[in-house]
Structure 1
Amino acid sequence: MWPSVYMEKGRDQSVLHKKVVEIAQALLGDDMAFDFDMIIAKEAGSLVETPWHQDESYWPDLPDKRALSFWFPIVDASVDNGCMWFVSGSHKTGLRTHRPVKQGKHVMMTDLEETDDGQPAPVNAGGCTIHTGRTLHYTGENSSALPRQVYIINCRPAAMVEEERRQKFDHGLAGLDSIELKAKLVNKQVK
């Protein structure tokens, strides 16, 4: 989570981050702002699937549901290495009931309905997919010989980002502070 924290010049000077926010504003309104970013990797030969879910199932219940996820594959994303699959129009049907994949696990899932028609969305490195917090999506296993990595940037209305932080929901950012502090302390002790 939060790779932009480690960017030398920060995301405020990143062309990619600026363009993503501009696109989010063009699509969903001028109040759209950066919320968080992350990197997801799926190792070569991984049999792990990311089950069907809606991102909103992970987030606090906010009054304004507008949100966009920009999914940038660092390598070509194909059906073989676990590209995104989407159910067209699912963002219009509301938030479905989700449950953890396994008791005590963080990964959420929902069931597809008979009318849901999931379709793969292969995309080359440097391209991207964009989906809302309510879009049903999934990624399959990586049966290829190479890892698949993806950089993700999320945007939502600035007032909702502020509300998330007020509720102490920061997508793991606070944990980075303590991890970095511990690392600095350990490095001082080692030297």
Structure 2
Amino acid sequence: MWYVPGSHLQTMRPHRSAGKGGGALECRATEEEGVAVELQPGDCVLHHGGTLHYSRGNSTELRRRAFITNFRPQAMIALERKQGYDHTGVREIKS
């Protein structure tokens, strides 16, 4: 997994759907901004929701799975739903 240190303290970058059939998003960033963190099967990672992160393509024959949990105050959920995000799909996010 790659992380961009301090990115959670920066202005959110515009995101768009990664178009891979899932909930993945992408934004303009370079790999040089990131730091690689090696994860082993079964590892758990926690990071701030505003932290830029990504993984390279799966180079194995096995499926790579993730369990993602988000914690938001009720007011944030209400605001996001008011803006059209229903937490079941992906829409473009502009800052």
If the TM-score is normalised by the length of the shorter chain, which range does it land in?
0.5 to 0.7
The match for 1:133 is: 49
Match status 1:110 vs 2:20? no
Q: Name whichever structure is richer in helix by fraction.
A: 1
Secondary structure of 2:80's partner? helix
- Mapped to 2, the partners of 1:98 and 1:89 lie a distance apart of 18
> How far apart are the structure 2 equivalents of 1:162 and 1:98?
21
Distance 1:91 1:113 in 2: 17
Alignment TM-score, normalising by the size of structure 1: 0.37
Provide the residue aligned with 1:27 in structure 2.
none
Displacement of 1:100 in angstroms is 5.7
How far is 1:138 from its partner? 0.9
Task: Note the residue ranges of structure 2 that are not aligned, 5 or more in a row.
Answer: 90-95
* Larger proportion of strand: 1
Structure with larger Rg: 1
Matched, 1:156 2:72: yes
Residue matched to 2:7: 90
The answer to which structure, 1 or 2, has the higher relative contact order (CA under 8 A, 6+ apart) is 2
Q: How many residues align?
A: 85
Shift of 1:141: 1.1
* AA at the equivalent of 1:117: G
Q: Percent identity?
A: 39
Deviations 1:82-121 (A, max 9, x none): xx2112222112212445668xxx843212385x232224
What TM-score, normalized by structure 2, do the two folds share? 0.66
